[in-house]
Amino acid sequence: MTTRDLCSGLLALLATPWLAPAKDRPNPKLNDSSVTVNGVRLHYVSAGKGPLILFLHGFPEFWYEWKNQLAEFGKDHLAVAPDLRGYNLSDKPPALEQYRMNVLVEDIRALGEHFSPKKKFVLVGHDWGGAVAWAFAIAHPEMLEKLVIVNAPHPGLFGRLLSSDAAQQKASQYMLMFRSPQAEAGLSANGYAMLVNIVLGEGLKTGVFTEDDKAAYLKAWSQPGALTGGLNYYRANEVGPPAAGQAARGNFAVDPKSLMVNVPTLVIWGEKDTALLPQNLDGLQQFVPRLTVKRIPDGSHWVIHEKRDEVNREIRAFLR
């Protein structure tokens, strides 16, 4: 083979689609399916193939929260976004203890084994999905390549803030309402008006969300038992500011004495979050030695939607 033939062959190889940069690859097809793990059937949407990257949504969202990330990271990963137990099309066990953190962590362990047997994976979580991701990383660091958290508090820091920080206590008062028996009625009244306003309101005005997005959320919230399933995360784990005469319960780790995260971790934080305040980042490195923090000053709690390209870029850079 001549030098010219060798160069021509290398150029042809570099031009093949599977070696093209991820940004230049077409968006992968989204696949809709379900799997039974840990005694429940979990619905999920996936895209692509390759090493596993698992996305965990928060309250009151569902797999759809990550649709833009599935399209992006499915280009070179097996990207999977489940409906967590209690949500949308996944099973919704009636017993409150079925939503305690040790059970939620076991769901993720079983999902990891299913999609990536004997191989480490990347775990990404937001809000309650981030809380589960923190707890999972503490309990099972041996299963994770990397951890990505978006606006979700570390259990040790959050417990401390709920006990002593007046601003975070005030910002977390809604958690007590979410734990009350009246929560379902209040949140579903007038066609889920409160949830529409909280999650979608500003985004509908700015174009971040469309009417089709709103319809998808309303359909998910209207699934029988779905609203109760999501609220049971608050109730079962008793997270929130201290009620009169009681101590705060903000530590949602499986083992409250074990709080170290021994996994390379990226925390992305929209600093305009009015529910989870930026002081949740202060002192975080004492629990997370291999920590990278990316603050997004003009992002809110819903920064995944508002700044999706920036969020994707930060995750991509961290994975490299």
Strands 52-56 and 78-82 come out as parallel
Give per-residue burial for 305-314: e unless 16+ CB within 10 Å, then b: bbbbeebbeb
Give the C-alpha distances (Å, rounded to integers) separating 127 from 65, 124, 188, 218, 284.
11, 11, 20, 19, 17
The answer to whether the beta carbons of residues 128 and 244 sit under 8 Å apart is no
Which residues are known catalytic residues? 127, 234, 301
Alpha helix segments (H runs only) across the chain: 3-14, 67-73, 101-115, 128-139, 155-164, 166-171, 173-179, 183-195, 201-206, 211-221, 226-237, 303-306, 308-319
Residue 75: helix, strand or coil by DSSP?
coil
